[in-house]
Amino acid sequence: MILSFAEMTTQASETPNKDIPEEINGLRMTRQRQEVYRFLMGERIHPTANEVFMGIKKALPNVSLATVYNCLEALVQHKIIRQVNFDREPSRYCPNLDEHGHFHDETTGTIHDVKFKPGINLTDLLDLPPNTVIKDIEITLRGQLA
Amino acid sequence: MILSFAEMTTQASETPNKDIPEEINGLRMTRQRQEVYRFLMGERIHPTANEVFMGIKKALPNVSLATVYNCLEALVQHKIIRQVNFDREPSRYCPNLDEHGHFHDETTGTIHDVKFKPGINLTDLLDLPPNTVIKDIEITLRGQLA
DNA sequence: TTTGTAGCAAGAACTATTCTAAATATCATC
DNA sequence: GATGATATTTAGAATAGTTCTTGCTACAAA
Ligand SMILES: [Mn+2]
Ligand SMILES: [Mn+2]
Ligand SMILES: [Zn+2]
Ligand SMILES: [Zn+2]
């Protein structure tokens, strides 16, 4: 495959991604951010930064791992995606913005989104100190899909 | 303060800790493991490995950080304490073995144990795939204690 | 065009944690 | 109690995910 000059340059002027808007939540969607976001939306496998890096290389051969980290951080900070951590493992990234938890299947290593049953408000079930303002809840499950 | 010869030696033969048994859950409680565990039980502040390290130095001047990590890992693996992770921050350690979550107060940086209200079974509230064996649940809250 | 700002790439730096190797302690057996 | 095997500790080196620095490119405003 022969790359056009535009495809070989390093920055956002490269061939645009038609199906992803130029801006989301006030964040300018550069070509790199678009590819990172597209990859997350496509394979919803909660990939690590490095898996994203490898996954977008075909579309963006000159992208750097630092840029992937920058893009992921920007997307997280603008609440376009979420960062998910399991113990001390590499961070993973999730484009599902609905309130949900994460089930880590130990046999396959895969991660599955877990919804709450309808009508459940989690903070109601917790014995929280009075005057507590909760900004974020994270639920992580570990086990096996027998 | 003048240290006795026993206090200056490096291993478990040092002055025993009366109030901590010689063995817990099949783990031999060496002097180092005793001091790590005693510190966790005393200041229930979910300290990091480094905070434990600094906290037990007065009692055990020659202890090394690697040993603190070794002790913490041994205690975790024998289910004497629990390891708690917040995002990518350094791991913290908790001697409370009851099922509980952790509330991270962003203003003070402190961490508080959060119990569930009586009669709550968390897995009942989740929309889990069938035939799922859950081995561990972790609940983490972030916010402010207004 | 000029000038300013944002974004990117490459590699260095950072840091929590783990590993390695040698010394010491404890345990089992005599 | 000596002796040999095993477990633990220590200091420092190594690791790895992530962040930082620097120089460069793209884009926007004037
Ligand atoms: Mn990663
Ligand atoms: Mn630590
Ligand atoms: Zn998810
Ligand atoms: Zn706790």
| From B116, B135, B146, residue closest to A133, measured CB to CB | B146
In a domain, B31, yes or no: yes
In a domain, B38, yes or no: yes
Q: Are residues A123 and A56 in the same domain?
A: no
In a domain, A55, yes or no: yes
| From B116, B117, B142, residue closest to A135, measured CB to CB | B142
Left if phi > 0, otherwise alpha if psi is -120 to 50, otherwise beta: which for A39? alpha
Q: Are residues A18 and A79 in the same domain?
A: yes
pLDDT of residue B5: 38
Q: Are residues A78 and A103 in the same domain?
A: no
pLDDT of residue A53: 98
> How far does residue A140's CA lie from ligand 4's centre (Å)?
15
In a domain, B91, yes or no: no
In a domain, B89, yes or no: no
pLDDT of residue A103: 97
Question: In the structure encoding, which two tokens stand for residue B133, read together?
Answer: 């064996």
- Taking residue A32's Cβ as centre, other Cβ atoms within 10 Å add up to 23
In a domain, A91, yes or no: no
**Tens digits of residue pLDDT in A92-114:** 999 999 999 999 999 999 999 99
Q: Are residues B21 and B70 in the same domain?
A: yes
What is the pLDDT averaged over residues A37-63?
A: 97
Amino acid letter, B71: C
What DSSP assignment string belongs to chain B? -PPPHHHHS-STTSS--TTS-SEETTEE--HHHHHHHHHHHHS-S--BHHHHHHHTTTT-TT--HHHHHHHHHHHHHTTSSEEE--TTSPPEEE---SS-EEEEETTT--EEEEEEPTT--GGGGEEPPTTEEEEEEEEEEEEEE-
What is the pLDDT averaged over residues A40-63?
A: 97
**pTM of the entire predicted model:** 0.89
pLDDT at A115 over 80: yes
Q: Are residues A22 and A80 in the same domain?
A: yes
Q: How does pLDDT run along chain B (146 residues), one tens digit per residue?
A: 333 333 444 455 445 566 788 899 999 999 999 999 999 999 899 999 999 999 999 999 999 999 999 999 999 999 999 999 999 999 999 999 999 999 999 999 999 999 999 988 888 899 998 899 999 999 999 999 98
Q: Is the CB of A80 under 7 A from strand D?
A: no
pLDDT at A22 over 70: yes
Q: Is the CB of A22 under 7 A from strand D?
A: no
Q: At what angle do helices A31-42 and A65-77 cross, to 10 degrees?
A: 80
pLDDT of residue B16: 56
Q: Are residues A74 and A108 in the same domain?
A: no
Which residues on B lie below 8 Å from A85 (Cβ)?
Answer: 85, 87-88
Q: Is A80 exposed, middle or buried (0-12, 13-18, 19+ CB in 10 A)?
A: buried
pLDDT at A52 over 90: yes
The tally of domains found in chain A comes to 2
> How far does residue A85's CA lie from ligand 4's centre (Å)?
18
Q: Are residues A47 and A116 in the same domain?
A: no
In a domain, A76, yes or no: yes
Which residues on B lie below 8 Å from A143 (Cβ)?
Answer: 132-136
Q: Are residues B67 and B24 in the same domain?
A: yes
Which candidate, B16, B51, B52, places its Cα nearest to that of B31?
B16
pLDDT at A26 over 70: yes
Q: Which residue is nearest to nucleotide D10 (CA to C1')?
A: B64
- Which of the four pLDDT bands, split at 50, 70 and 90, describes residue A15? low
Closest CA–CA distance from residue A13 to any residue of chain B (Å): 34
What is the pLDDT averaged over residues A36-49?
A: 96
Which residues on B lie below 8 Å from A101 (Cβ)?
Answer: 126
> Residue A139 belongs to what domain range?
98-143
Q: Are residues A133 and A108 in the same domain?
A: yes
Which residues on B lie below 8 Å from A49 (Cβ)?
Answer: none
Q: Are residues B73 and B9 in the same domain?
A: yes
> How far does residue B65's CA lie from ligand 2's centre (Å)?
9
In a domain, B92, yes or no: no
Nucleotide with C1' nearest the A90 CA? D17
State the ligand closest to the CA atom of A91: 1
pLDDT of residue B15: 54
